[in-house]
Chain A
Amino acid sequence: MITIKGIAASPGVAIGPAFILTPDTAIFEKKKIPAANVQGEVRRYQEAIERTLEDLNKTEASAQELFGAAYAKLLKAHKLILKDPMISQGVPARIEKDMINAEYALYTAVQEITAKFEAIKDEFFRERRFDIADVAKRLFENLTLKKQNKFAAIKEPSIVIAHNLYPYDTINLKGKKVLGFATDVGGKTSHTALLAQSMQMPAVVGLSTAAEKIKNGDIVIVDGENGLLVINPTPEAMEAYKKEQGKIKKVEHSLKDINDLPNITKDGHRVSLYVNYDPRRDFKEMDIFTSEGLGLLRTEFLYMDRFDPPSEEEQVAVYKKAASRFDVRPFTVRLADLGGDKISQLGLARSQEEDNPFMGNRGIRLFLKYPNLMLTQMRAIVKTAAEVDAKVKLMMPMISSVEEVVQVKKYFKTVLAELSAQRITPKNPIDLGVMIEVPSAALSLDGILPQVDFVSIGTNDLIQYLLAVDRTNQEVADLYDAYHPAVLRTINFVVQAARKKGKTVSICGEMASDPEMVPFLVGIGVDILSVSPRMFLRIKNTLRNLNFKDCSNLAQAAILLSSSADIKKLKEYYKTDEENT
């Protein structure tokens, strides 16, 4: 048995035989074409381009329907590549000049293009080579007329193992005999991971070299809960995972029944449950539960994979559509938390490469440097609030001092005034809040609180900054510890300070979606947990099985303990039985 640690991309446990997706390293044979047939060869290539264009159009339409505009946009970019003269004219020129077959001409052209792209300094441009490879692959398939329906070879329910899955491949997994998948590359927010979640298919990504350790037919377990891939499990491990799988299914099944019950602990303490919502995945999973509001709408995706920042109109359309899901409930939009790596791509100057982008020009810092970006987003938010019934709230990311809050508020005031002159006013007053994710903001919260209506703790970044741990760095990822006393104490400090001033506190980081952490958060006195859609009913179930008095005792004891190990030990004493629904 081998267990490999990767990144949990989509929850659930899948067990089955491995189906290895062979990488596309096909090398095409060079064939000489007689002079009389050269024009025919060129025509064959042009027909392949036509068919590929049709494919792209079709996939674009179905992607739009299944997964929303972001994927459709990706396919638009692919069409631009297909029409690029290097592909549309360069290859026919090679066929004619060298009198060679279309496959080989295309193969050498793509090799040359990608080699040149690998040498480009700019990361955004350099990464486009994957898009070029994806387009070339489809073109090859249309040339050989052997559409490699790679997944057609899957005869029994299997787990797909691949070095990389392109979004196009992932879309096509739908409806196939695929139980789950594991890939060597990819992150939690890659297109592929988001697609897996939407299909409710367990997936683990970022396994680095897993694909070469597995043979076709090996029994593998995809543990999408813990981000593990188990190869040829021992009978004991198999038994344990089957039990786990059964438990997940049973809990999922019974969860539907609790949706209509209130969000209270056994002893009647109320905690509001909001959802973190990603409009890119407007899926059925949102229909199976009822949240009390939207706790965090991340808007960075609007700025990605494109050359221009999103226009006001474009943003309003996205926000309005999302807000329609929340009728009159709270709808919290976070100003885009863009990093310095995004700005040059959006046509803004940047003074220098950042050695440490997490500590650099990101979030509100970047918006204050480029106020036009922020003003556009603020206008879009206010215009949305003027049209929808939902209670729109605006949240500022990466705040580290009260001065920043004051500056942002000043900008917001001008936007409100400017729009009100055009008779555009929000239906409900827009609440302003800050994300607490930088320790300095937590420690100087007393100054910030009078300026805002609410605070929300972003635990992922807060932990990273408190512990000085980059959890995407394999060398130190094990030091990323939500149970570190500094973490619980800081959260407690923020909650107590805010409550004293009568401001609501929510938790919108991953911690709120972790059933093991919920007792601490409830015990500390958090008002709102904003949970990922997939975990919503599970967290609700956890909450309903807690005893507030126990949670309160647990939290008070925990903040006195000075080691993570002791806090974890303490947790075991108070553990609730999840099966006890």
Chain B
Amino acid sequence: MIKEEIEIKNRLGIHARPAAMLAQEAGKYQSDIFIAKEGMEVNAKSIMGIMMIAAEQGSRVQLTVQGADEQEAMASLKDVFNKIFEEE
């Protein structure tokens, strides 16, 4: 199991498009992937879940990945986060 904390750096936070990007990317992996914010944890493969978290700029989320392909999953999700942060 790998855990990482990520600070949401872009102005809009995890908004509609980032939410879809994250859920789609997470869906490609076997591992269980969770995003947690302020005690609320959701399945990162669920777009509805990510919408519920609606993380704003400056907030911190904890990303937990567990499973056979956890290394690749964590790396590619961090890539997605960075892509999101670069966009704005």
Q: Show the binding face of A for B, using Cβ within 8 Å.
A: 80-81, 84-86, 113, 116-117, 120-122, 124-125, 128, 132, 307-308, 344-350
A347 touches B17 (CB 8 A): yes
A344 touches B51 (CB 8 A): no
A349 touches B12 (CB 8 A): yes
B45, closest chain A residue (CB):
A85
CB-CB under 8 A from B48, the residues of chain A are 81, 84, 86, 113, 117, 128, 132
CB distance from A526 to the nearest CB of B (A): 42
CB-CB under 8 A from A346, the residues of chain B are 17
Using C-beta atoms within 8 Å of the partner chain, give the interface range for chain B. 20 to 34
8 A-B pairs with the lowest CB-CB distances in the bound complex, closest first: A307-B17, A349-B11, A347-B17, A307-B16, A125-B51, A85-B46, A84-B46, A116-B52
CB-CB under 8 A from A117, the residues of chain B are 48, 51-52
Contact among A84, A85, A125 with B16 in the assembled complex (CB-CB below 8 Å): A125
Q: Which of B12, B46, B48, B52 is the most central at the interface, judged by chain A CB atoms within 10 Å of its CB?
A: B48
Known: A85-B46, A86-B43. A345 touches B15 (CB 8 A): yes
CB distance from A109 to the nearest CB of B (A): 11
CB distance from A293 to the nearest CB of B (A): 37
Contact among A113, A132, A308 with B17 in the assembled complex (CB-CB below 8 Å): A308
CB-CB under 8 A from B51, the residues of chain A are 117, 120, 125, 128
With the chains together, A120 CA to B10 CA distance in Å? 19
B87 at the interface (CB under 8 A from A): yes
**Chain B stretch 1-54: residues in CB contact (< 8 A) with chain A:** 10-12, 15-20, 43, 45-49, 51-52, 54
CB-CB under 8 A from B86, the residues of chain A are none
With the chains together, A85 CA to B20 CA distance in Å? 14
27 contacts between A and B (CB under 8 A): A81-B47, A81-B48, A84-B46, A84-B48, A84-B49, A85-B45, A86-B43, A86-B49, A116-B52, A117-B51, A117-B52, A120-B51, A120-B54, A122-B54, A124-B16, A128-B48, A132-B48, A307-B19, A308-B17, A347-B12, A347-B15, A347-B16, A347-B17, A348-B12, A348-B88, A349-B12, A349-B88
Chain A contact residues: over half helix, strand or loop, or mixed? loop
With the chains together, A350 CA to B15 CA distance in Å? 12
With the chains together, A132 CA to B49 CA distance in Å? 12
With the chains together, A77 CA to B33 CA distance in Å? 22
CB distance from B5 to the nearest CB of A (A): 23
B54 touches A121 (CB 8 A): yes
Task: Kindly supply a per-residue 1/0 record for chain B positions 75-88, scoring 1 wherever the CB is within 8 Å of any chain A CB and 0 otherwise.
Answer: 00000000000011
With the chains together, A349 CA to B11 CA distance in Å? 6
A81, closest chain B residue (CB):
B48
Q: Which of A85, A116, A117 is the most central at the interface, judged by chain B CB atoms within 10 Å of its CB?
A: A85
CB-CB under 8 A from B19, the residues of chain A are 307
A132, closest chain B residue (CB):
B48
With the chains together, A121 CA to B54 CA distance in Å? 9
B45 touches A344 (CB 8 A): no
CB distance from B59 to the nearest CB of A (A): 13
With the chains together, A37 CA to B49 CA distance in Å? 30
With the chains together, A530 CA to B41 CA distance in Å? 54
CB distance from B7 to the nearest CB of A (A): 17
CB-CB under 8 A from B12, the residues of chain A are 344, 347-350
CB-CB under 8 A from A344, the residues of chain B are 12, 15-16
CB distance from B84 to the nearest CB of A (A): 9
With the chains together, A266 CA to B61 CA distance in Å? 72
With the chains together, A148 CA to B27 CA distance in Å? 34
With the chains together, A132 CA to B19 CA distance in Å? 16
With the chains together, A124 CA to B15 CA distance in Å? 10
CB-CB under 8 A from B45, the residues of chain A are 85
A309, closest chain B residue (CB):
B17
Q: Which of B16, B19, B45, B54 is the most central at the interface, judged by chain A CB atoms within 10 Å of its CB?
A: B16
B43, closest chain A residue (CB):
A85
With the chains together, A117 CA to B49 CA distance in Å? 10
A120 touches B52 (CB 8 A): yes
CB-CB under 8 A from A85, the residues of chain B are 43, 45-46, 49
CB-CB under 8 A from A349, the residues of chain B are 10-12, 88
CB distance from A113 to the nearest CB of B (A): 6
CB-CB under 8 A from B47, the residues of chain A are 80-81, 84
